[in-house]
Structure 1
Amino acid sequence: MDKIRTAVIAGAGIGGLTAATALIRRGWRVTIYEKAASLDPGGTAIALAPNALRALESIGVDVQARSTPRTTGGLRTPNGDWVIRTDEHLGDGLAVLPRGELIDLLRPAAADLRLDTTITGVTAKSLVTDRGEVEADLIVAADGIRSVVRQGRFPKHPGLRYANYTAFRFVAPFDTDGILASETWGRGARFGIVPMSAGQVYCYAALNAPAGRPYEDPRAELRRRFGGWHAPIGALIEAAVEVLQHDVYELTRPLPAYHFGPIAILGDAAHPMTPDLGQGGCQAIEDAVVLAQVLEGGAVRDRLPAFTAARHRRTVTIVRQSRRMARVGQLSTPLVVSARTGAMRLVGRLPARFTERALSPVIDWRP
Structure 2
Amino acid sequence: MSRTAAVWMTAVGIVLIALNLRLGISSASALLEQLRAQLGFGPFVASLVPALPTLCFAAVGATGAMLARRVGTERAVLLALAALSVGLAVRAVPRTGALLGGTLLGAAGLALCNVLLPAVVRAHFPARVALLTGVYTTTMALGSAVAAAAAVPVADLVGEASPGLAVWAVPAVLALVVWGLRPGSWRATARGADGGKVSARSAGRTRFGLLVTAFFALQSLNSYAVIGWLPTVLSDHGMSSDRAGVMLGLALVVGVPSTFVLMPLTRTAARLRWAFVLVGAALMAGYLGLLCAPLALPVLWAVLTGFGLGAFPLVLAIIGASGRSAQETAALSTFSQSTGYLLASVGPFGVGLLRSATGGWALPLAVLLALAALQLFVGLRLTLTRTEVSA
TM above 0.5: no
TM-score, structure 1 length as denominator? 0.27
Higher normalized helix content (fraction of residues): 2
- The normalised TM-score by structure 2 is 0.26
Between Structure 1 and Structure 2, the one with more strand by share is 1
Q: Find the structure with the greater CA-based Rg.
A: 1
